[in-house]
Structure 1
Amino acid sequence: MGVLAAGMLLAAPLAADSLMLTTESYPPFNFETETGELDGISIRVMDALLDVAQVDAEIRLLPWSRAYAEAQSDPGTCVFSTTRTSEREDLFTWVGPLVENQWHAFVLEGSDVDAQSLEDLERYRVGGYRDDAVALFVEGRGIPVDTAPNDRLNARKLAANRIDVWVSGEHLAPWYARQEGIGELRSLFAFNDTVMSLACHPETARAPLDRMQEELDAMRADGRYAAIVEDVLDSNGERND
């Protein structure tokens, strides 16, 4: 399975079925490698969907807030991997799920933080990612969150004792902890099971999205999807991207 270069045009040009796709750095689902290519579970799945559906697309790696805003404002623009929530359901047309993502409250391995639920976090300094669904969910439960412009910075904040607890995805936080060399993380508890999908402006042409959804369903049924997940986690989980 090949990976996609940032800004690369995919498949045969089809003006009526063209998409602008935006994404963020959110490993292991989507991230940029040292050579400037885009890789990750969602990237590889998207590559396959666009190829089979014969959709022409450009993928741009952007800060999350900008990527999300463009999909809300520009017909023909989609953003991934986007957590599908009830608040967002009617804002987009969806293709998914691309990945599953369980949310956890993490601490450093040697931490003496004692918490079993979100309510227990009220007495601790909690770090999250600005405008991310995880941080918004925690804030919505009345827990103040010290948000960073990207989630990788929370690894540094945790190591520097600027936060006590880091709320993030089950794969993302350990990945960034390895990249930053801060040591092992320990999950205090999991607090939500979510799916992440392709979220498209509601005025985006439906036909190419339907073809992509049909292929995604087929990939999940015949084992190709599971093979991509296993390959990405095995090949990239311990390396620097």
Structure 2
Amino acid sequence: MAFAEHPSALAKIEYLTESYPPYNYLENGELKGIAIDLLDEVLQQDEIERQVAKIRLLPWPRAYKMLLKGANHVLFSTTRTQEREPLFEWAGPITSTKIVLLALTENQIEIQSIDQLANYSIGTIKDDIGEQLLLSLGVSNKQIRQAHSAESLVKMLNKGRIQLWAYEENVARWYIANSNLPNNQFTSVFTLKESELYYAFSKDVDPKLISRFQNAIDKIKLPVKKESQSRYQKILSRYQ
């Protein structure tokens, strides 16, 4: 069944996202990023302008809670993990992702195993993949220092209020640079997980719609005749 037969289907979903550059973020009042541009391409196949679709930029803990409760939501960019797999339905991938622990370079911290993490305080955002991975690995809640934003975590790490920061590496580097700090002042000392980012749908969304959404993504990634890049590759190149 083609999108055109149900032109309002995708517009009825409430799209939730957070500030997670370069994947999704707000710049000069406009939503941008790899996941935003890919969503635009999907919507255009249903002849929907982005202004018609309802996209809300929210703090991650609030958006994640809304997704769990359902009510026709999709949240992006969401790291797909074994723990999250049964909670949502999925379309993607958007791109690959790496969740790491960052430390101040000058502290010369070396992490070889999870057991060593017991010696450090670690900054996270509530319900972010970094925090969920730490808890699944047995890290104590007493070690975790939650913050409301990545900007806050950059400051906390820089001022020594935490020793490690669990976050997606590319996003962390973006926030460091935008805090007017040199990126070489921070080092990735341990990889918690390499995975992929997806659009996560609440369980109440029509499976047929999710299937059509996935088919649209697959089509966008296909090579275009007489062009060196697919539409998907062109999106990625804008943020390199």
Which position in structure 1 is the counterpart of 2:57?
A: 61
Counterparts in 2 of 1:86-105, with a 5 A limit? 86-105=82-101
Q: Which runs of 5+ in 1 are unaligned?
A: 1-10, 234-241
Shift of 1:16: 4.2
Alignment deviations for residues 168-188 of structure 1 (CA, whole Å, 9 cap, x no partner) = 112011111111123222111
Q: Is the 8 A contact 1:22 1:62 kept in 2?
A: yes
Q: Which runs of 5+ in 2 are unaligned?
A: 224-229
Alignment deviations for residues 109-164 of structure 1 (CA, whole Å, 9 cap, x no partner) = 32222222332222122112221011111122122321211222110001111011
Task: Give the residue type in structure 2 aligned to 1:230.
Answer: S
Q: Which has the larger displacement, 16-25 or 48-57?
A: 48-57
The answer to whether the aligner puts 1:155 opposite 2:154 as a matched pair is yes
Q: CA separation in 2, counterparts of 1:145 and 1:151?
A: 15
Shift of 1:189: 2.6
Secondary structure of 1:163's aligned partner: coil
Which position in structure 2 is the counterpart of 1:70?
A: 66
1:54 to 1:15, Cα distance in 2 relative to 1, 3 A: same
Shift of 1:218: 2.3
1:32 aligns with one of 20, 26, 38: 26
Q: Is the 8 A contact 2:9 2:209 kept in 1?
A: no
Q: Which has the larger displacement, 97-106 or 183-192?
A: 183-192
Q: CA separation in 2, counterparts of 1:204 and 1:58?
A: 15
Alignment deviations for residues 1-52 of structure 1 (CA, whole Å, 9 cap, x no partner) = xxxxxxxxxx9x944442110111111111100x210001111111111111
Which position in structure 1 is the counterpart of 2:193?
A: 192
Q: Which has the larger displacement, 194-203 or 69-78?
A: 69-78
Counterparts in 2 of 1:1-241, with a 5 A limit? 14-17=7-10, 18-33=12-27, 35-54=28-47, 57-143=53-139, 144-184=143-183, 185-222=186-223, 223-233=230-240
Q: CA separation in 2, counterparts of 1:39 and 1:16?
A: 23
Which position in structure 1 is the counterpart of 2:227?
A: none
Shift of 1:200: 1.2
Q: Which has the larger displacement, 160-169 or 52-61?
A: 52-61
Q: CA separation in 2, counterparts of 1:22 and 1:50?
A: 15
Q: TM-score, normalised by structure 1?
A: 0.84
Q: CA separation in 1, counterparts of 2:118 and 2:195?
A: 23
Q: Which has the larger displacement, 41-50 or 111-120?
A: 111-120
Secondary structure of 2:106's aligned partner: coil
- Count of matched residue positions in the alignment of Structure 1 and Structure 2: 221
